A and B are shown apart, each in its own frame.
Chain A
Amino acid sequence: MNDPRDFIAHEAALLDERRFDDWLALFADDGHYWVPLLGAAQADPFSHNSLAYEDRLLLQLRVERLKNPRAHSQHPASHSQHVLQPSRIEEEAADEVRLRTPFLYVEARGDDQILLSGTARHHLIRTPTGWSIREKRIDLLNATRALPAIQLFI
């Protein structure tokens, strides 16, 4: 999977298949998952809050929690569907690449379904075994508005 655009599609598919351990393994040791509260308008994760700003430790915590039978909010379990537009390469260097991928995200649980839209921005680095995520940033279209619970990973 040399083309980073294939990697983006693969990453979303792992989430939609609930293969969370495999998904987490795509992150670099210093990798972050970031959903800024201001969406695309936010410059950094420190001066303003975020819906999520997680390192591998916190992502691992989420993944482990989802496996626990007493994760009450997962009865019934949530499922996601990422609908991706083609990824566009923003920047490319020898061992890293930045891409943007507009998406629709549907999360369904029981009779309820939520729909989110925005742009995913990936910063990938090349490792001996393939691409790895240094940052996955999700700029939601309506990030500042009141939201219902988002249970899985956008």
Chain B
Amino acid sequence: MTTYRNRPDLVAALVRDDRVHRDLYLSDELFALEQERLFANTWVFLGHASQVPEAGDFVTQEIAGRPLLMVRQPDGAVHVMYNRCAHKGTQLVTDESGNTGRFFRCPYHAWTYKLDGAPLGLPLKNGYEGTQLKACESGQGLSVVKHVKVYRDFVFVRLADAGPSFEDYFGDVLGALDNMVDRSPEGKLTVGGGVLRNIVHCNWKMYLENINDTVHPMSTHESATKAAEALWEGHAPTDPKPMAMEQILPFGSGYEFFDKMGGRVFANGHSVLGVNFSIHSNYAQLPEYEAAMQAAHGVERATNILQRSPQNSVLYPSLSVKGSPQAIRVIRPLAANRTLIEAWSFRAAGAPALLFERAMSYNRLVFSPMSVVAHDDVHLFESIQQGLRAGGNEWVSLHRNHDPAETQQATVTTNGTNELLMRNQFRAWAKAMTVEATA
């Protein structure tokens, strides 16, 4: 049944100023349209250049339902191609990552391609003489993703031909990536320690909404924080905490803490939560690291970089960044009711090993499938996915601190518990979903 495909008015009507319709989370048709439009029209995070350090290194990744291939070129550039042989459509590689050597060779009929996708050779060449192969698409080599941006080693793609430039699309929220990279005295990050992958049976937007939700920790995470508090009872506030305690205890902060941390929204759905401080602000200081940062950036700039530690920065629609503790989450939608969440850790060149340990420890405690914190989140997301099927009320409320004037400026700074950060995501959703993709 198609309801929404040719009715942009109906799609737009699902997002009101202060609430959204449940179909956003439940409809298989909207999910298919999101793949075609939203994830094709916007700039989506694919991977990190450090995953492919040598020429011929590749990583496979599916975006908007399309199998892609990120490849390091002999000249050092990173290219992205569709993982589809020009002949019959075989995927050229089916490993998640590896090195292909100097060319790709299709396992089916041995057509070969240079690392940039240009055609190299094929068997029974004489059989193509007098045919139109060279003139048609299949003779041109691999299809290349034209709109690729490598920003400080973070690789993004826009699959649609039409659309905003990378800089126009992200704007000032790129400061979140700058901050994370600048935390390396050498300005270089590498992915380390592997990626924790979770399957959550909920809509991807629900997960993304929760990244901007500061009112849930007190009630959702009560079991974990009460247990941590009971185990830590009797220690003075100044006692050095084991890293796990340092990372879990702040989840138990009160509403006032989260309200005062502040938030900011930007055009196109992006946001920063915790512009003043966050649950990451009070990690132990590391004098030697600070000295290295000051030597690299100067005292004032080093202080600014290290003091900025937002809770989450959302590069809509699929990337969430934590500058400290140098971790990202990537949201990969699989179906209307199924989402893959990845948690990545980074090593910062020139920074002490403890920083990397912090990133891995945080991801393990908070985002692992065996996390002690996330079980309650995941349970509640899956509960919402079921609960929304209930009739009666077809709307999800986003009223908290709603101000009719809030849509009049692109960047707004506000209190940390304002649901504006979520309203802003859905406004961007409606905008992208009512534009036809061209790819």
A residues near B (Cβ < 8 Å) are 35, 37-38, 46-53, 57-58, 60-62, 64-65, 68, 70-73, 75, 144-151
Q: Does B391 belong to the interface (CB within 8 Å)?
A: no
Q: Given contacts A49-B345, A73-B379, A149-B369, is CB(A61)–CB(B193) below 8 Å? A: no
In the docked arrangement, what's the CA distance between A73 and B372, Å? 11
Cβ-defined partner of B193 (8 Å) among A48, A60, A149: A48
Contact B370 A51 (CB under 8 A): yes
Contacts of B248 on A, CB cut-off 8 Å? 61
Given pairs A49-B364, A149-B379, 16 additional interface contacts (CB within 8 A): A49-B345, A51-B196, A51-B364, A52-B368, A57-B231, A57-B242, A58-B365, A58-B372, A61-B227, A61-B231, A68-B222, A72-B380, A73-B376, A73-B379, A146-B340, A149-B198
Contact A145 B376 (CB under 8 A): no
In the docked arrangement, what's the CA distance between A53 and B200, Å? 22
In the docked arrangement, what's the CA distance between A62 and B345, Å? 23
Contacts of A60 on B, CB cut-off 8 Å? 231
A-B contact pairs, 22 of them (CB 8 A): A38-B194, A47-B193, A48-B192, A49-B360, A50-B368, A51-B369, A52-B368, A52-B370, A57-B242, A57-B244, A58-B244, A61-B372, A62-B372, A65-B223, A68-B223, A71-B375, A71-B376, A72-B379, A73-B375, A73-B378, A148-B200, A150-B369
Contact B379 A64 (CB under 8 A): no
Q: Does B99 belong to the interface (CB within 8 Å)?
A: no
What residue in chain A is nearest B201 (Cβ atoms)? A148
Q: Given contacts A51-B369, A73-B375, A73-B378, is CB(A144)–CB(B223) below 8 Å? A: no
What residue in chain B is nearest A49 (Cβ atoms)? B193
- Chain B binding surface, main DSSP class: helix
In the docked arrangement, what's the CA distance between A122 and B111, Å? 50
Q: Does B215 belong to the interface (CB within 8 Å)?
A: no
Interface 1/0s, chain B 216-234, versus A by CB < 8 A?
A: 0001101110111011000
